[in-house]
Amino acid sequence: MAVNDLSFEVPGGQILGFLGPNGAGKTTTLRMLTGMTSPTSGTATICGFDLLTQPLEVKRKIGFVPDSGAVFESLTGLEHLEMVAALYEIPQELARPRIEQFISFFDLSMDTLANKMLGAYSKGMRRKVVITAALLHNPPVVFFDEPLEGLDANASVGFKALIQSLAREGKAIIYSSHILDVVERVCDRVIIIDKGRSLVDGKPDELVAEHNSGTLERLFTQMTGGQELERRAETFAKTFLP
Amino acid sequence: MRVTPPPTIYKVPSPEATLRRLFLTVFLRGQSARGLTKETAPKSLAAKLGWILFVYAALGLSALLMIGQPTLLLSIMLHSITFLALGMFVASSAGEALFNKEESEILMHRPVTSQMLLRAKSTVLVQISLYMAFAVNLVGLGIGITASDGGLLFPFVHLVSTVESALFCIGIVVLMYQLCLRWIGRERLEGVMTTMQVVVIVCITVGSQVLPRVMGMNRGVGQIDAGAWWLKLLPPTWFAALDDAVAGTRSSNSWMLACAGMVATGFILWLGFGKMASVYESGVQILGESNRTRPKQQNQIRLLRALSESALLRPFLRSSVAKASFQLVSAYMFRDRDTKLRLYPGIAPMMVMPVTMLAMNHGFGSSRASHAIESGMGGFFVAFSAAYLCIVPLSALNLIKFSQQYRAAEVFIAAPIVGPAPLLQGARVAVMFFLCVPMLIMLLAFVVIMEGPSSVWLILPGVIAMPAYALIPGIIGNATPLSNPMEEAKSMNNMPIMMLSTFGAMGIGGVATTASSMGFLAIFLIIETISSVALCCFLYSITKKATWRVYD
């Protein structure tokens, strides 16, 4: 079982850092919360709608940036975004200005977006399109799974500022990432899970102080059995390298 | 006085229409952009569709053979061709269209239901299938008016029966997937579905080769017994019966068959798109879940490793790269869904055609057979059959160079390997060992049974020529295994090479038969062996010198 007995609540305006080692159940949790996988038991309520009985209502209220960054490669960026807008029943006349706002924010060119197929985009450009597609319908709840992958330093800075602004506007943000220093700086609250169960849940600074770990990274390794890694790395280098 | 302008009313887009437009676009352009002119705006979809329809319309020209024939006969032929064309199309594209992993990542968290996805995809499949069906039947619609018992009603009723036939075809394939999902379970789903899909396509391919001969079409189309009991079991007959019932003989028998066709189509559509539509959701969700390696696959990996180290294959797999390539290509041949779907249906006709020729030589459904026996063509058929199998490695290597995971092939360029030669060597050995050798053994058994042991020698010219044929892909473009995107497979143009290869096989068969009849077969085999070795050395040296081409 990837996720077991996991329960949490995220109020509007909060950025929740969702952490865990590989295979801990982060992506499975996000997939269940976004209606991509059915849970075998349990339920979730998003914006007052039950995920199991009102999946369409839930999906209208959420935005999701999956870690795969999958797009239809044979569509142009603009075609892809207009398609996504149409799925949320946003008229083209309203969708286009919103797309232009994101283009301007992410420093993309309309010419590229309209004429190049997504298959020709760099990883970073593609990620920007995926983020735009997740936020285009202005959802009150947004899930990010490794959103910074592929983004350059400037775009990453811009993105971090963006999610903080979105939270200030009242959106609930669930942010899953392995980049712990970013999580520490951006998130108001952190949940660390392992083997599908919640290990700690609280404000990053409070958790760090409570466990006397100094940094979130130390806390993470403490909680998930990663303390041995540094010693193992040293032993490995000694035995592996001639 | 200020007048408040009326609120702007925007047209709210329909998600279902958006999905249909999306799937049509993606279907025609392909899932990946590589292989398309991706730097510029996409080309017209209508032009692409037009070209496909032109090819299908050309296929329908065979209806010209049926001028003046009875309606039922003409219609059976038209529906058979439609069934073949659509069956192949739907069976090969439905898997990719219905269950695409990336697509579930993009769409399943949006406000769309799995039923909406299934409906939109099915509509696109039906839409394209109908275009194709109309293209195939375009000439037939006019020919139907000239039917000996037909009339002006034929085009109208034939359009209806063609729609029915197309819906039946798609319904059967979708239902097949739904049943697999329900009965097989999540763990084995993908493997079983792929096997079934391969079997369906191979059956359609084999059927298209064998059925016309069983029906006796080569005796002349007018000689087909449209009243044969077994013909009534085949779906094309049910739809043809509707044409006959309305525009032909109007017999009660035709009406009964037509009704059976309608009931069967309705039932299949109800099952596939209504009753079992919910099963589709679990299928789409499975795609996002990680697969566990089953014990059977681990055994396969161990077996492949042992094979590459065995005394039998070691001489051909000297370098570690060739060994790794052999294991990789073999694993893809047995496990990868897309590779299997392209490879086995692609080479099936190459096995079926020689067997059919040999069978015809013994009077199976052909009056030409007696003529062949009398004129001593039996030897030629054996030699040609074996030489024709030479095309198998050529064709298989051309198919194995495509993969959905083509980007992973960049690891070949990153590795310290000068060029694709050792990778091609591994792929060649895999194809020869797992495809050509079993096919040759089957042919050998068939020749011994049908022609007697004395004809076995005539297989040798084909066997000797096979290694040279297997080297050809290495000199005609990037044949590195699994390194080209699937979209390029659709646009590849291997026809001239395949035609030349077929002529070469005919040449080898002809010369070998002549040498055999003149008592010089042994001398011919020696000369052919020397020539083949020289040619192999020449082709291998070219392949070996090749360096990496710049990847897209």
State which H helix or E strand residue A143 sits in: strand A141-145
Please name the amino acid found at residue A169: E
pTM of the full predicted structure? Answer: 0.73
The residue in chain B having the minimum alpha-carbon distance to the alpha carbon of residue A78 is: B41
Q: List Cβ neighbours of B452 (8 Å cut-off, separation of 6 or more).
A: none
β-pairing, A49-50 vs A62-65, is unpaired
Identify the residue among A34, A73, A121 best suited for mutation to test binding to B, counting B beta carbons within 10 A and taking the highest.
Answer: A73
Contact assignment for B36 to A74 by CB distance below 8 Å: yes
Name the region of A200 (left: φ>0; alpha: ψ -120 to 50; beta: rest).
Answer: beta
pLDDT of residue B49: 75
pLDDT of residue A99: 93
pLDDT of residue B485: 78
Distances (CA, A) of A91 to A27, A56, A85, A215, B132: 32, 19, 8, 47, 33
pLDDT of residue B194: 67
Region A145-155: mean pLDDT is 87
Contact assignment for B38 to A120 by CB distance below 8 Å: yes
**Higher per-residue pLDDT: A139 or B489:** A139
Class of domain A18-180: alpha beta
Are B31 and A100 within 8 A, CB to CB? no
How many helices and strands (H and E) does chain B possess? 23, 0
Are B118 and B280 within 8 A, CB to CB? yes
Region A137-158: mean pLDDT is 90
The residue in chain A having the minimum alpha-carbon distance to the alpha carbon of residue B34 is: A119
Identify the residue among A38, A60, A83, A141 best suited for mutation to test binding to B, counting B beta carbons within 10 A and taking the highest.
Answer: A83
Identify the residue among B38, B100, B109 best suited for mutation to test binding to A, counting A beta carbons within 10 A and taking the highest.
Answer: B109
pLDDT 10s digits, B480-516:
888 887 766 655 556 677 778 878 888 888 888 888 8
pLDDT 10s digits, A64-110:
999 888 888 888 999 999 999 999 999 888 899 999 999 999 888 88
pLDDT of residue A57: 92
Contact assignment for B109 to A90 by CB distance below 8 Å: no
Residue listed under structure tokens 């995107």? B485
The answer to whether residue A216 scores a pLDDT higher than 90 is no
pLDDT-based confidence at residue A236 (cuts at 50, 70, 90):
confident
Delimit the domains of chain A by residue range: 18-180
Contact assignment for A73 to B105 by CB distance below 8 Å: no
Contact assignment for B42 to A36 by CB distance below 8 Å: no
Contact assignment for B41 to A114 by CB distance below 8 Å: yes
pLDDT of residue B551: 47
Report how many Cβ contacts below 8 Å link chain A to chain B.
113
Which residues in chain B show pLDDT less than 70?
Answer: 1-10, 30-45, 48, 92, 95-96, 101, 184-194, 196-198, 201-202, 204-228, 230, 278, 281-298, 360-378, 487-495, 549-552
**Higher per-residue pLDDT: A9 or B208:** A9
Which letter, b or e, does each residue of B219-250 get, where b requires 16 or more Cβ atoms within 10 Å of its Cβ?
eebeebebeeeebeebbbbbbbbbbbbbbbee
The residue in chain A having the minimum alpha-carbon distance to the alpha carbon of residue B9 is: A91
